[in-house]
Structure 1
Amino acid sequence: MEKQLFELMTKMYNEIQEMKENMATKEDVKSIKQDIVKLEHKIDEKLEALFDAREVGIDKDAEISTSLQRVETKVDKLELRVLRNNINLPSTNEN
């Protein structure tokens, strides 16, 4: 009985030692937390850059839209001029 108990205790001890080897230490956890903080900081910077780029894109789209409206207005005016000039021109039918 003592031998079985000793073997069981030895087996449990070995398993506990193996578990301890696989466990993270306080230093490991601290290091992981620091790494997480660094990654969060990098992600925050990149997200901020993405939002800034998005704002620039929105502003650029607004500028392009305004420019397009001006061009369309000019084209409309020119079209009206051409139509007026065509109406005022005598027809030149050579029959």
Structure 2
Amino acid sequence: MPLLTLKAQVHADPETERILRDAMFCATKVYNGLMWHLRQELKEKGKVDLRRSTLNRTLKTLPRAKGYYSLSVQLTRDEVIQAYRSFFALKKN
């Protein structure tokens, strides 16, 4: 499978740049936090519940949960679901 790498540079005023960096930090923390919880659940129970409602409950337990951008959290949550499903689809093959 070929990979495509995109490079981009954003030119913004300091306030906009701060907001963008914070949003990216949010997405990274949400992604890593959810993946950690899913790996723990798999290790403990042998299966994972990937429903949005379950992941939303998990999101509330993450550090800084109230400070995250909601749209960033929602999109990252959906990316985690797809990434986890893709991982297990590839693992089966």
**Higher Cα Rg, which structure:** 1
Q: For the superposition of Structure 1 and Structure 2, which TM-score range results when normalised by the shorter chain?
A: 0.3 to 0.5
Higher relative CO (CA 8 A, sep ≥ 6), structure 1 or 2? 2
